[in-house]
């Protein structure tokens, strides 16, 4: 028999674990309750496809959905090749000293506050983009995507790097032995063997890109309109939540931000399940 | 010869990617240092108020970031204070006690919590306020306490994960040695596993502090304001450095305020990178000490 103190300790630890995971459920429940009046009776579809015009009693989140779908994927597309290259540099060798510096620098990047990126972006990047576009304020899809790419790149690089390093050494030695160069080694051995890790890194980075608030809020312009080009200002789901100023907690306008919250929550959950799927296969191999 | 050329192109592209990335970040940091370094004076903190009077609470600071710094410190202490005991306990449970099936479910939920965007956690805090306001007491408003609770939810998964990973990555021999000598599970956990995993847990906690200090999205929905003075009560509004930076970028009225914004951004950057470096050093130093001893 276990002594009583053993049992008590285990129970306390269990309570903490359950409490932590219940927060996740509590967030979902609160979003559902608060957003319910807007979601009931099939109105969720109207909400997802209609415009945001509070003056006309229209509280659709369609422009924000598209805003997020414009900024986040563009950021990922910008970040992916750069991250792949940098990760290959870290994972596939090259002179040790410089590579170590690159790795440390990338790790350090994860410690830079998002709001700092946003702040410098407003005063450094926005005027540059304004000049490039020749119109508007310079706060647009492209500006946000560029900064967001910097934010998600370390996530990708560190994930990719790990995946590249987990390729069995025997394969690398074998491919060296038959005289392949680094390029061939990377394309034909490392990438095919590490693609699950690469996928995992992309999924992780997708989560960060969808979920970031401050960069889009500070440099994307926040216009609740469907963007027509990368030089158009947009409002993302996240910044829509941040911008809400309704004093009346019962208004439909206020309720609509919980629809945004739910959408973001769903995306996050789906991505986590995806990552776990990918990881499980990795572990089984 | 063709292969050689391919390899050279590949190498070039890899270096180009790394250089582009590092160059972009250095440009941003360099710009900030250039613009912000001049603002790093006592005046940034205290404004026109006498520092001595401000620190002893005899005078209010109106145009310095001291209230925002104090707000951020209060926020970090409270939120990490809430999250640390629960997070470490949960991490220990996952690493040592949890049966696989229980762990599967609970860990999935914690993973989701880790990836829920911080603005959604802020929204959760706001919903909590509205709920309590309606059902408990109309006196409940967005406040320092609510922000700290929401922020604790944000950093909790980091703490759980680093605790779990630090314990998991202990050598299997060491994990079994205690039990082989007849130690109970609890003794094994507290006398062998936790001391061995301590460096990882501490450095993870320091990273959580940095995360709590830099987050803006959670607090902007739960009680932070641009100007209210030093944080007074748990149930009151407060200022915070990251929110001040955001606020200045959107609404600065004159060059002086803008300079303050640069200064504040630089201060926040230094704090976060400092914490990051500290976490790194602690992990390394403790590890090497254990290494030499063993």
| pLDDT (tens digit per residue) in A120-178 | 999 999 999 999 888 888 999 999 999 999 999 999 999 998 888 888 889 888 988 99
pLDDT at B290 over 60: no
Q: Is residue A265 part of a domain?
A: yes
**Three-class DSSP category at B68:** helix
pLDDT at B294: 34
Q: How confident is the model at residue B1 (pLDDT cuts 50, 70, 90)?
A: very low
Q: How confident is the model at residue B182 (pLDDT cuts 50, 70, 90)?
A: confident
CA–CA gap between residue B106 and residue A24 (Å, rounded)? 10
Which is nearest to B116 in space by CA: A15, A36, A31? A31
pLDDT at A88 over 50: yes
Q: Is residue B33 part of a domain?
A: no
Q: Is residue B4 part of a domain?
A: no
Q: Does A7 touch chain B (CB under 8 A)?
A: no
Chain B residues with beta carbon closer than 8 angstroms to that of A118:
246, 249
Q: Is residue B178 part of a domain?
A: yes
Does this complex have an ipTM over 0.95?
Answer: no
pLDDT at A2: 66
Q: Is residue B229 part of a domain?
A: yes
Q: Is residue A262 part of a domain?
A: yes
Question: Domain with A122 in it: what CATH number?
Answer: 1.10.3720.10
| pLDDT (tens digit per residue) in B14-48 | 999 999 999 999 999 999 999 999 888 888 888 87
Q: How many structural domains are present in chain B?
A: 1
- 8 Å CB contact of B120 and A261: yes
Q: How confident is the model at residue A281 (pLDDT cuts 50, 70, 90)?
A: low
> Which two three-digit tokens encode residue A284?
């089984």
Residues facing A59 on adjacent strands: A52
Q: Is residue B123 part of a domain?
A: yes
**A residues 64-103 closer than 8 Å to B (CB):** 81-86, 88-89, 92, 94, 102
pLDDT at B152 over 60: yes
CA distances from residue A159 to A103, A153, A265, B81, B161 in whole angstroms, order as listed: 12, 10, 23, 30, 16
CA–CA gap between residue A31 and residue B220 (Å, rounded)? 18
CB B107 within 8 A of CB A279: no
pLDDT at A119: 96
- 8 Å CB contact of A183 and B3: yes
- 8 Å CB contact of B97 and A14: yes
CA–CA gap between residue A121 and residue A115 (Å, rounded)? 9
pLDDT at A85 over 90: yes
Q: Is residue A45 part of a domain?
A: no
pLDDT at A95 over 80: no
pLDDT at A93: 61
Which is nearest to B269 in space by CA: A91, A115, A205? A115
Q: Does A128 touch chain B (CB under 8 A)?
A: no
Q: Is residue A43 part of a domain?
A: no
**Residues of the domain holding B140:** 40-293
Q: Is residue B13 part of a domain?
A: no
**Three-class DSSP category at B238:** strand
Q: Is residue B146 part of a domain?
A: yes
pLDDT at A285: 47
pLDDT at B291: 44
Question: Domain with B274 in it: what CATH number?
Answer: 1.10.3720.10
**Residues of the domain holding A123:** 61-284
| pLDDT (tens digit per residue) in B50-77 | 887 877 777 777 788 999 999 999 999 9
Q: Which residue has the higher pLDDT, A184 or B275?
A: B275
CA distances from residue A215 to A137, A202, B113, B125 in whole angstroms, order as listed: 16, 19, 21, 21
Nearest CA in chain A to B243: A115
Q: Lowest mean pLDDT of B113-122, B133-142, B202-211, name the range.
A: B133-142
Q: How many structural domains are present in chain A?
A: 1
Q: Is residue A31 part of a domain?
A: no
Q: Which residue has the higher pLDDT, A31 or A58?
A: A31
Mean pLDDT, chain B, whole residue set:
89
Chain A residues with beta carbon closer than 8 angstroms to that of B160:
17, 20
pLDDT at B80 over 90: yes
CA–CA gap between residue A162 and residue A204 (Å, rounded)? 14
Q: Is residue B12 part of a domain?
A: no
pLDDT at B11: 85
**B residues 59-118 closer than 8 Å to A (CB):** 85-87, 89-90, 92-94, 97-98, 105-118
Chain B residues with beta carbon closer than 8 angstroms to that of A116:
28, 32, 214, 245, 265, 268-269
pLDDT at A169: 86
Strands (E), A36-77: 52-53, 58-59
Chain A residues with beta carbon closer than 8 angstroms to that of B114:
272
Q: How confident is the model at residue B292 (pLDDT cuts 50, 70, 90)?
A: very low
Cβ burial, residue A225 (10 Å; 0-12/13-18/19+): middle
Which is nearest to B200 in space by CA: B155, B171, B169, B173? B169
Share of chain A above pLDDT 90, in %: 52
Q: List the single best residue of B249, B250, B252, B278 to mutate versus A (max A Cβ within 10 A).
A: B249
Mean pLDDT, chain A, whole residue set:
88
| pLDDT (tens digit per residue) in B121-151 | 999 999 999 889 888 888 888 999 999 999 9
pLDDT at A53: 78
pLDDT at A183 over 90: no
pLDDT at A120: 96
Q: Does A258 touch chain B (CB under 8 A)?
A: yes
Share of chain B above pLDDT 70, in %: 96
CA–CA gap between residue A240 and residue A237 (Å, rounded)? 5
Greatest C-alpha distance within chain B: 79
pLDDT at A216 over 90: yes
| pLDDT (tens digit per residue) in A227-269 | 899 999 999 999 999 998 766 777 777 888 898 999 999 999 9
Which is nearest to A216 in space by CA: A116, A148, A119? A148
């Amino acid at each position: 028999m276990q002594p009583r103190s053993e049992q008590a300790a285990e129970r306390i630890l269990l309570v903490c674990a359950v409490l932590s995971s219940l927060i996740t459920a509590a967030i979902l429940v609160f979003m559902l309750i608060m957003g319910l009046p807007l979601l009931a009776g099939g109105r969720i579809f109207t909400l997802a496809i209609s415009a945001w015009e509070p003056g006309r009693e229209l509280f659709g989140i369609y422009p924000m959905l598209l805003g997020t779908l414009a900024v986040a994927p563009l950021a990922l597309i910008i970040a992916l090749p750069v991250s792949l290259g940098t990760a290959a540099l870290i994972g596939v060798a090259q002179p040790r000293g410089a590579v170590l510096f690159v790795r440390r620098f990338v790790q350090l990047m994860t410690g830079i506050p998002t709001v700092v990126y946003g702040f410098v972006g407003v005063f450094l990047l926005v005027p540059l983009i304004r000049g490039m576009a020749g119109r508007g304020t310079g706060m647009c899809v492209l500006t946000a995507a560029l900064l967001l790419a910097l934010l998600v790149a370390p996530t990708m690089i560190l994930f990719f790097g790990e995946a590249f390093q987990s390729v069995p050494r025997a394969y690398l030695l074998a491919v060296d032995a038959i005289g392949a160069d680094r390029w061939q080694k990377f394309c034909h051995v490392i990438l095919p063997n590490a693609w699950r890790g690469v996928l995992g890194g992309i999924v992780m980075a997708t989560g960060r890109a969808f979920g970031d608030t401050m960069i889009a809020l500070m440099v994307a312009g926040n216009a609740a309109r469907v963007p027509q080009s990368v030089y158009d200002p947009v409002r993302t789901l996240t910044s829509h939540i941040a911008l809400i100023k309704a004093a009346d907690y019962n208004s439909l306008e206020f309720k609509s931000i919980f629809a945004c919250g739910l959408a973001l929550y769903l995306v996050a959950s789906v991505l986590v399940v995806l990552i776990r799927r990918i990881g499980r296969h990795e572990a089984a191999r | 010869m063709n292969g050689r050329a391919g390899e050279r192109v590949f190498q070039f592209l890899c270096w180009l990617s790394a250089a582009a990335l590092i160059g972009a970040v250095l440009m941003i940091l360099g710009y900030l240092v250039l613009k912000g370094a001049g603002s790093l004076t006592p005046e940034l903190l205290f404004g026109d108020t006498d520092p001595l009077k401000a620190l002893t609470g005899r005078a209010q600071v109106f145009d310095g970031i001291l209230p925002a710094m104090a707000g951020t410190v209060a926020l970090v202490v409270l939120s990490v204070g809430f999250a640390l005991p629960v997070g470490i306990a949960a991490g220990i449970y996952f690493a040592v006690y949890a049966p696989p099936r229980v762990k599967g479910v609970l860990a999935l939920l914690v993973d989701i919590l880790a990836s829920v965007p911080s603005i959604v956690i802020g929204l959760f805090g706001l919903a909590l306020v509205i709920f309590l306001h309606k059902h408990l007491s109309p006196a409940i408003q967005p406040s320092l306490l609510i922000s700290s609770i929401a922020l604790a939810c944000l950093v909790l998964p980091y703490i759980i994960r680093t605790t779990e990973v630090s314990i998991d990555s202990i050598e299997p021999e060491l994990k079994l040695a205690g039990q082989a000598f007849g130690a109970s599970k609890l003794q094994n956990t507290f006398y062998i596993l936790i001391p061995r995993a301590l460096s990882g847990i501490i450095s993870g906690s320091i990273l959580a502090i940095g995360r709590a200090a830099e987050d803006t999205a959670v607090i902007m929905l739960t009680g932070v304001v641009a100007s209210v003075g030093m944080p007074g009560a748990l149930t009151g509004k407060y200022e915070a450095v990251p929110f001040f930076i955001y606020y200045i970028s959107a609404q600065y009225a004159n060059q002086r305020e803008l300079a303050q914004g640069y200064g504040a951004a630089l201060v926040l950057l230094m704090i976060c990178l400092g914490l990051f470096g500290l976490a790194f050093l602690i992990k390394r130093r403790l590890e090497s000490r254990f290494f030499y001893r063993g």
